[in-house]
Structure 1
């Protein structure tokens, strides 16, 4: 990682996600840790793979209990989408990328790796999203990805 960053750190005003375990929650936890406004849309009943999404996350419920509608609404309501992953894009993560393209939203797919921090910082500085949608795999498909994604985000937003 380059400690002498030529690109100043850009931090969005708001981070949104769908509240699923994994990368979604890492985005919300990063916002809470850094004092950034957070929110987003989640399925009816605050549905997630581990039960109900914790109430500390300020998410609005969709009318549908399905995941795709909230995924699309979070893409539409954001200036840009950041997809963090390890391995191949699939399922809801791949859907998020396709929806960002369909709705003409900036989207960066980046592997969680310290070598990619500068790439993420440069993209944030260039796109300057006020509202950033953070998405990626859930914990059941990539065990412990939430912790790795949270650490990556905290490093990316460090000033």
Structure 2
């Protein structure tokens, strides 16, 4: 059976990244991604860092966050940027989120910004991109958007359910 989303890719930072990885793991969808050398994340600055909880991720040679971001965009079919709403402007984005948008454009990778009210439209957009997609999920850290983890977990969970033919959750 062909699936729409074969894997969720993310860098494992607090907030949107981890919410996406955890939602995919809970749904039984493959998780993968690049993280900075040493598994660095804002809440886990010492090696092995986030690799203790997310051994599926691979370290980049560099501790620089930009390399992790670039490689995750490069190695995905599409990128979804999760934010407080689907109309998030580049000027409203965190530096990492803005970099993700720029890299997706420069690498000619399809990207879309997703807010909590845009699940059905996003699934339709994904269907137009193909099947067996590796979807890179990016967005603000928890420190940049309090509640990012919960929002991302809910949005990615809903995307996975709806893309598999089930209904999205009704929780707010």
TM exceeding 0.5:
yes
For the pair 1:68 / 2:66, whether they are aligned, the reply is yes
Q: TM-score, normalised by structure 2?
A: 0.81
Shift of 1:122: 1.0
Give, in whole Å, the separation in 1 of the partners of 2:134 and 2:9.
Answer: 7
Q: Over residues 114-136 of structure 1, what are the superposed CA-to-partner deviations in whole Å (9 max), with x where a residue is unaligned?
A: x2111111111111352110000
Q: TM-score, normalised by structure 1?
A: 0.88
Give, in whole Å, the separation in 1 of the partners of 2:83 and 2:19.
Answer: 12
For the pair 1:99 / 2:103, whether they are aligned, the reply is yes
Equivalent residues, number: 148
> Which aligned pairs between 1:7-156 and structure 2 lie closer than 5 A?
11-51=4-44, 52-57=49-54, 58-86=56-84, 88-111=92-115, 113=116, 115-128=117-130, 130-156=133-159
Give, in whole Å, the separation in 1 of the partners of 2:130 and 2:96.
Answer: 25
- Equivalent residue of 2:52, what SS? coil
> Where in structure 1 are there 5+ consecutive unaligned residues?
1-9
| Contact persistence 1:81–1:100 (CA under 8 A) | yes
Structure 1: 4+ residue segments shifted above 3 A: none
> Where in structure 2 are there 5+ consecutive unaligned residues?
167-172
- Equivalent residue of 1:53, what SS? helix
CA RMSD of aligned residues (A): 1.4
